[in-house]
Chains A and B, each alone.
Chain A
Amino acid sequence: MSDALAFPWLRAAFFAVVVRPALLLGFGLGVRHRERLPQVGPAIVVANHNSHLDTLLLLSLFRFGTLRLVRPAAAADYFGQQPLVNWLTRHLIGALMIERRPKAGERADPLAGLSAALQRGEIILLFPEGTRGQPEVREALKSGLAHLARRHPGVPVIPVALRGLGRALPKGEWLPVPLNLYASIGEAVGADPSDKLAFTQAVEAELDRLDAELPAALWD
């Protein structure tokens, strides 16, 4: 199974013609500290997860020159089932499929694909909450991130807080509503990943701090 991006130009065209104009006109973007996004790999970018559009939003923040290096992680048990969805997720989005639960009897390493991408010098996008969960509420982070970071010491982990899609297109809704989307990009997390719990907590704290920088207003 080859994980290399088969049609990088297809993805670049898709983002230039469809994704960026749609996000800009249909929603509108407010980005803080865009200069902190890594432009060279390997790097791990982690964000909170509210909506399927989160991946497109994160990818659209990168420069076109960097985009070919950026690989989001996608759950194979969700996106890998139907052939068409599988193909689009792999080639149009450029995702790496992750087996969240290895099949019975197998002892596969779910992080192997991500490790290989980092060794190829790519930038991977992770949603360590593992699920979209409640709109605009951050779930506890899964430990996979800390495992991955421990395996690749020296690879920067950059947290990004996203906000707005929980209102514009939350889980379970198919009708998007035009509302501004916000992203705030943090500095690389300094904590030592060999202490799994402390590292995860440091990432969580940084995500919450970045999220507090973003506008938020709700009555319920």
Chain B
Amino acid sequence: MTTILGTLQGGVGIVLSFILALLVLATIISEVLPRVQGRPGNAELIARVRAWWVMAGLFVLAVLVDKRVGITFVMFLSYLALKEYLSLIPQRRSDRRVLLWVYLAIPLQYLWVYTGRYGMFIIVVPVYVFLFLPFRLMLTGVTQNFLRASSTLHWGLMLTVFALGHLAYLLVLPPLHPAGGVGLLLYVVLVTQFGDVAQYVCGKRFGRRKIVPQVSPNKTWEGFLGGLVSAALLAVLIAPVITPLNRLEALVLGLALPIVGFIGDVTMSAVKRDLGVKDASSLIPGHGGILDRIDSLMFTAPVFFHFIYYFVYGPVRG
């Protein structure tokens, strides 16, 4: 309990109150208003908002309790995302057991996070796993579709384990602000997801001109710009509360994160379109699968991390 209260200091409590206010507002719009006005609510919207309560609650709880719980939570997200990805992509029967090696990359990668071995964290999946997996695939003796198998397996690992793992590494960075790593993690997740929702809402309300109709017909310029402005505003406002970012850095990130998040979103849409599915799974009511929820986050996490690692931590490291 003392650790939770400890992390609430340093501005985290203010941002959590803001998240709570957003959730309450969303619930008023989705459930309370329809009831007061005596009309049926939108079932999909209700399911979406309720799922947000669960997701935000689990995330906030995991992050606040303890560093180890936070890292384990992100590791579990990696596992769910990788499992969803591996269940979705075409596979060769002969590679069934190789998949266990693919899963083994998760504990290995998060071990480097937990022990704060930045060098290993940054090199193991992109280099060593990248070299090992094709070797292990070669041992099955099946060469048909070999290149496809090794590429798709590693592609999934890069996104769900390497890219997403950057979220956990934020927790072990030395604190430059009273909110510490928790503040950084909260910042990138909140700005990304808020940008997602703002883009969705603006697109629904004002959307007319499509951006990439062949890939994701629901994405419009109006939604994209609305999300960009809202997320940038939020990013600049909360930066001094929970991060060591100065105003210029916050503005650059506030503009970069929604753009990068959008790129992640439409890239995963292209993958789903290729595989012929609308949602990656039906794990989260109203949202689809875990990959549908974290598609933008898998792209913003490493961009945010390396931005602050270079511009904020670089001068400190010397």
CA distance A16 to B147 in the complex (A): 42
| Chain A residue, CB-CB nearest to B86 | A179
B88–A177 touching, CB < 8 Å: no
The residues in B between 267 and 285 inclusive whose CB is less than 8 angstroms from any CB of A are 275, 277, 281-283
A28–B283 touching, CB < 8 Å: yes
Q: Is A86 part of the binding interface, using a Cβ–Cβ cutoff of 8 Å?
A: no
| Chain B residue, CB-CB nearest to A31 | B282
B281–A28 touching, CB < 8 Å: yes
A219–B145 touching, CB < 8 Å: yes
Given contacts A164-B87, A173-B96, contact A217 B281 (CB under 8 A): no
List A contacts of B248 (CB < 8 A): none
A-B Cβ contacts below 8 A, count: 59
List A contacts of B90 (CB < 8 A): 217-219
Contact pick for A220, options B97, B144, B281, CB 8 Å: B144
B87–A180 touching, CB < 8 Å: yes
List A contacts of B86 (CB < 8 A): 178-179
List A contacts of B92 (CB < 8 A): 218-220
Contact residues of A: prevailing secondary structure: loop
List B contacts of A170 (CB < 8 A): 96
Question: A-side interface residues toward B, CB under 8 Å?
Answer: 28, 30, 135, 164, 167, 170, 173, 175, 177-180, 215, 217-220
Known: A164-B87, A180-B83, A219-B144. 16 other contacts (CB 8 A): A28-B83, A28-B84, A167-B91, A167-B96, A175-B100, A177-B97, A177-B99, A178-B86, A179-B86, A180-B84, A217-B89, A217-B91, A218-B92, A219-B92, A219-B145, A220-B145
Question: B-side interface residues toward A, CB under 8 Å?
Answer: 79-80, 83-84, 86-94, 96-97, 99-100, 103, 144-145, 148-149, 275, 277, 281-283
Instruction: List 24 A–B pairs whose Cβ atoms lie within 8 Å, in order of A's numbering.
Output: A28-B80, A28-B83, A28-B87, A30-B281, A30-B282, A135-B93, A167-B93, A167-B96, A177-B99, A178-B83, A178-B103, A179-B83, A179-B86, A180-B83, A180-B87, A180-B281, A218-B90, A218-B91, A218-B92, A219-B90, A219-B91, A219-B92, A219-B148, A220-B144
